[in-house]
Chains A and B, each alone.
Chain A
């Protein structure tokens, strides 16, 4: 820090005397060379306030000239500005460290941070490439690029007339990218914004809006998906099956773990995972199912968890025709005591919260599963596994409605594309 302070002092002195002065660390300020903080320290040419950049570039120190030309090339109206600065910093490895290095390179290059708006916009565009778009401290580092306290309005006229509008727009752009990725800003962001733009500026207003609305909606999802999604397919299948089962007492069974086996003759057998779920209610329904009627394996149906789509299959029966439905017990059958009591004690006697609409007729769902592959052999293994807990499946014909691509949940019975019957060896009865 010592060397920087001495540089600044040198600049003030030269400004005071009104002399165009170049600080060449090798020549004029020999005490700089002795300082230990010169490791990787870029020789920043000190300019007088009154002189422009063009004049000061005229008699450069030969050692610094090469870097200066490269910098000039990136600023000279290139279509994609600062691209090669990022290329230079990353050296082939794109991660948080190289991104931070690129930002630091820019900050050290110029004490006035010329071109900071273009640099910040380019950095925001490059963030997905470097994989840092969800890191809050990287955003704070980008906000740090703004020169502090220059854009704070100092009187009511400046406050009225949108002081430094492009810089405020750029600040808003940074916060908008944070908002798009759902990242909550922290106190450091607030202090940075206050220091750069002052209170009651547009970026600070946007920050206040973020801090008001984000906490309100952060926990609005009654079925939240964890941000770090599970990688193991069996765990992922377990989590998503428990999600769609809607029954806390449902049991998840892993029928087959994924493994790759190499046999003696060099052939590879890959086994994919099969994870199934069935709740006691579903088991009961299946036990009461008439074995003469077939059950259907339908799938694959999509399930989205944040940005990943997984597919599941279901085992369901047909909706019963009206004659085979469960008989409704007549209320006048027994006058001594009611055969069934339907007391809804939550609501008042005349409160009726039913909707007068026909119920959608659908067959009951008996079990769900997720498998690595959607072919009949894998699903047949699932049915075999289900037979152990539901013995009625050994007598029931199973029909496979496997569609090639994901389609709607209710498959039209007339236009099936993958209907197949499961072979004789798996069940005893012929299909009707």
Chain B
């Protein structure tokens, strides 16, 4: 009885501090659907806030046991990888590498790592789908954009779609980060239809105040039957929060990167498609810029 209260307390604490490490490791897998609700406080505009009390959440024992087995397996793999070298790569490979392929799309498992969303979440009418391209060699993100804003009294603009990699999780749903400090540009091989996309990098920060911070830059597609190879240096990414560019800019920290996403929102109604071959990293020796935007305070205090 007292134990269950202590466990419930730890859930409340973890949801407020937004620190996933605080969640009791045995209780986490037991609450199967509640984890996502605890960690995302997104409220769809026009709906009332969700206030289900914790005693109404459902527990499941078999799924819990499976989850515990899975998580201990991941933990073991992590420890073994740590012996092999940084991030599981052998040391000489880590030190000498100049290119790395991070995401490629060769089978359905690769596609499952990505989440596709559109403005249906806020009540809009765009559609977006993701599937494997011909010969299972590429991923195709296609759909239709519709800029009609939902009539909920709050939203003014609509018409976007997005594809984002799932957050990398360590054992027991801990936050895991990619370390890309060896590289200084992002390399994409894509084939678009002429629409301008935006690439977002999320760093999954420690403090919940920064949880809407994204680093963005544009991808301008040329269209046509030929593949387009795009190199975007990390120094060009600018900081934005909730869609608004911030005043104090600082360069992206490469050792704590969580996910990468693509967004389309160019206010043109109609079908779109984007074919992605792979997403990789490149250490461009010719690129010496540290940051493309001024770091001094441009809007001094009143």
Is the pairing of A and B real? yes
A365 touching B225 in the complex, CB below 8 Å, given contacts A302-B271, A304-B195: yes
**Residue A428 CB within 8 A of the other chain:** no
**Residue B79 CB within 8 A of the other chain:** no
Contacts of B135 in A (CB 8 A): 360-361, 410
Contacts of A410 in B (CB 8 A): 133-135, 138, 140, 275
**Residue A54 CB within 8 A of the other chain:** no
Our count of residue pairs bridging A and B at CB distance below 8 angstroms stands at: 120
Instruction: Digitize A403-414: 1 where CB-to-B-CB distance is under 8 Å, 0 elsewhere.
Output: 000101111100
Contacts of B142 in A (CB 8 A): 408
The 8 Å CB contact of A223, one of B106, B222, B268, is B222
Q: Which of A240, A244, A352 has the most CB of B within 10 A?
A: A244
Which chain B residues numbered 252 to 293 have a C-beta less than 8 Å away from chain A? 267-268, 270-273, 275, 277-278, 280, 282, 285, 292-293
**Residue A337 CB within 8 A of the other chain:** no
Bound-complex Cα distance A411 to B137 (A): 13
Contacts of B267 in A (CB 8 A): 180, 307
Q: Which stretch, A44-52, A143-151, A207-215, touches the partner chain B?
A: A207-215
Residues of B near any A CB (own CB < 8 A): 98-99, 101, 104, 106, 133-135, 137-138, 140, 142, 157, 187, 191, 193-196, 218, 220-227, 245, 247, 267-268, 270-273, 275, 277-278, 280, 282, 285, 292-293, 298-299, 302
Instruction: Digitize A216-232: 1 where CB-to-B-CB distance is under 8 Å, 0 elsewhere.
Output: 11001111000000000
Contacts of A303 in B (CB 8 A): 193-194, 223-224
Instruction: Digitize A288-318: 1 where CB-to-B-CB distance is under 8 Å, 0 elsewhere.
Output: 0000000000000111111101001010100
Q: Are A408 and B273 in contact (CB under 8 A)?
A: yes
The 8 Å CB contact of B223, one of A304, A314, A406, is A304
Shortest CB distance B105–A (Å): 10
Nearest residue in A to B247 (C-beta to C-beta)? A209
Q: Which of A213, A220, A304, A408 has the most CB of B within 10 A?
A: A304
A351 touching B98 in the complex, CB below 8 Å, given contacts A243-B223, A245-B224, A301-B193: yes
**Residue A355 CB within 8 A of the other chain:** yes
A interface residues, tally (CB under 8 Å)? 51
> Could you show 18 A-B contacts with beta carbons less than 8 Å apart?
A209-B299, A217-B218, A220-B220, A221-B220, A223-B220, A223-B221, A243-B223, A244-B223, A306-B268, A309-B270, A351-B98, A354-B99, A355-B280, A357-B104, A357-B280, A365-B225, A409-B275, A410-B138
Q: Are B278 and A355 in contact (CB under 8 A)?
A: yes
Nearest residue in A to B298 (C-beta to C-beta)? A212
Bound-complex Cα distance A303 to B292 (A): 31
**Residue A193 CB within 8 A of the other chain:** no
Nearest residue in A to B294 (C-beta to C-beta)? A212
Residues of A near any B CB (own CB < 8 A): 159-160, 180, 200, 205, 208-209, 212-213, 216-217, 220-223, 240, 243-246, 301-307, 309, 312, 314, 316, 347-348, 351-358, 360-361, 365, 368, 406, 408-412
A409 touching B273 in the complex, CB below 8 Å, given contacts A209-B247, A356-B101, A358-B137: yes
Contacts of A213 in B (CB 8 A): 245
Given pairs A216-B293, A243-B194, A355-B280, 17 additional interface contacts (CB within 8 A): A180-B157, A212-B298, A216-B292, A221-B220, A243-B222, A246-B224, A302-B193, A306-B268, A312-B224, A316-B225, A348-B285, A351-B98, A351-B285, A353-B99, A360-B277, A406-B271, A409-B191
Shortest CB distance B250–A (Å): 16
Q: Are A200 and B223 in contact (CB under 8 A)?
A: no
Q: Are A305 and B194 in contact (CB under 8 A)?
A: yes
Q: Are B98 and A352 in contact (CB under 8 A)?
A: yes
